[in-house]
């Protein structure tokens, strides 16, 4: 006699539950990646050395006028 249970003995309900858990974890992982990416982009734009974008804006405006 073996104590090991096969996936068949758990039934379809376990398979659906496991798929749901995996999907929930994947959604949470994607939200975490998006959040980290958003923060890194914000950090980059806040801490650019020399900030060349701020100097370019007046020149662009001057050319248009």
Write the pLDDT tens digit of every residue in 20-52. Answer: 999 999 999 999 999 999 999 999 988 877 665
Does residue 42 lie within any of the structural domains?
A: yes
Does residue 58 lie within any of the structural domains?
A: no
Rounded CA-CA distance 42/61 in Å is: 25
Rounded CA-CA distance 28/25 in Å is: 5
Does residue 21 lie within any of the structural domains?
A: yes
Does residue 14 lie within any of the structural domains?
A: yes
Write the pLDDT tens digit of every residue in 8-26. Answer: 667 889 999 999 999 999 9
Residue with tokens 């659906």: 16
The answer, yes or no, to whether residue 56 has pLDDT greater than 60, is: no
- The total domain count for the chain is 1
Cα–Cα distances in angstroms (integers) from residue 11 to residues 17, 21, 34, in the given order? 11, 16, 36
Rounded CA-CA distance 50/44 in Å is: 12
Host domain of residue 21 = 10-47
């Amino acid at each position: 006699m073996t104590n090991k249970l096969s996936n068949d003995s758990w039934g379809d309900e376990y398979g659906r539950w496991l798929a749901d858990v995996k999907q929930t974890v994947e959604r949470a992982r994607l939200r975490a990646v998006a959040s980290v990416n958003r923060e890194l982009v914000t950090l980059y734009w806040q801490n650019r050395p020399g900030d060349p974008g701020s100097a370019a804006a007046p020149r662009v405006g001057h050319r248009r006028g």
